[in-house]
Structure 1
Amino acid sequence: MRDLKKAPKPALYLGLSGLVPFVAAPLLMAATELYLPDVAFAQVAYGASIVSFLGGVRWGFALPAGSPAKPDWLNLANSVVPSLIAWMALLFYRDITQSALLVIIGLGIALHYDLSLLPTYPSWFKALRTILTFVAFLSLVGTVVIKQCYPEKKLTNK
């Protein structure tokens, strides 16, 4: 984690600011003592977009000439898996617990791939990814717990 100090400032600040949608949702619901399904879904949809983004990062890493990750079937297929998991998470939009669980699984698979299967990523990137994934995981778990603890209030009339 000490290698986080080596992170380029834009990567560090943009990465950390990317946690705002994850953290804001459970904080808002905890502060109001209400489970807000629209807010919870917005958090999960954001998480799904991040999971897809992480697959794209891997695809982009494999494409440049000279990259240690070759654009072979394994690397490119593993780059597509996060997008498929994110898509499945959005299919379960009526059950936020299942959606959040799929996003958590997608984040976990992406982190595992980044830490163990692509050892050539810079150490600062691995440290940053670990922190970002851990906070996103806790935030999604927080939303699932809040769903069980607080009364539901819909923001829209459907």
Structure 2
Amino acid sequence: MNRIPTAPLLLGLAGLIPFVWGALTYLSDPLAQWGLSNLGSRFIGPYVQLFYGSVILSFMSGVLWGFATKASGTQAAIGYALSVIPALWAFFMTGGGPVTAGLNLMFGFAGLLILDFAFSRWRLTPAWWMNLRVLLTTIVLACLAVGVFL
């Protein structure tokens, strides 16, 4: 059964809030002004997306590391090595201004989805994992695209 359990689904959707909020404040000047006045400049537009996106890529490295613990031998070693890529990507590739950083985050999240697929193919993830990851990644990429392409 590939139905996403309620708790991971709700937590995953809640984790999209900074991405969606960033896109909305990029698209709506009144919303951006409200956010600036009430939350500060770091919590609007692409800035909240970039900072939070870096955090989430690092978090996902930890998730993949956890999946790697289910493997053994060479597969485990490969899993551990692959699991650190998203955090390293976030660390090295999110500088250079909001457009470059946003584009690099998009590549990072797309790459993460490929890693999710590999771990899923190795049967290290729950059966519903890819359903959740495709949903969340699609929304993240759409939100980041607002700051990169508009």
**TM-score range for the pair, normalised by the shorter chain length:** 0.7 to 0.9
Q: What one-letter code is carried by the residue in structure 2 that aligns with 1:43?
A: Q
Q: What one-letter code is carried by the residue in structure 2 that aligns with 1:23?
A: V
Structure 1: gaps (5+ residues)? 147-158
Moved more, 121-130 or 12-21: 121-130
Give TM-score scaled by structure 2 length.
0.80
- RMSD, aligned α-carbons: 2.4
Deviation of 1:124 (Å): 1.6
Match of 1:131 in 2: 135
Conserved 8 A contact 2:22-2:49: yes
Higher helix share: 2
Query: Does 2:87 match 1:83?
Result: yes
1:100-135 CA-to-partner distances (Å, cap 9, x unmatched) read: 122111111111011134321233211110010010
Conserved 8 A contact 1:61-1:69: no
- For residue 41 of structure 1, the aligned residue among 39, 47, 68 is 47
- Runs of 4+ displaced beyond 3 Å: 68-72
Q: Aligned equivalents of 2:65 and 2:25: distance in 1?
A: 35
Give TM-score scaled by structure 1 length.
0.77
Greater RCO, CA 8 A, separation 6+: 1
Matched residue count: 138
Match of 1:96 in 2: 98
- For residue 76 of structure 2, the aligned residue among 72, 84, 92 is 72
Structure 2: gaps (5+ residues)? none
Match of 2:16 in 1: 19
Q: What one-letter code is carried by the residue in structure 2 that aligns with 1:16?
A: L
- For residue 60 of structure 2, the aligned residue among 41, 54, 57 is 54
Q: What one-letter code is carried by the residue in structure 2 that aligns with 1:82?
A: P
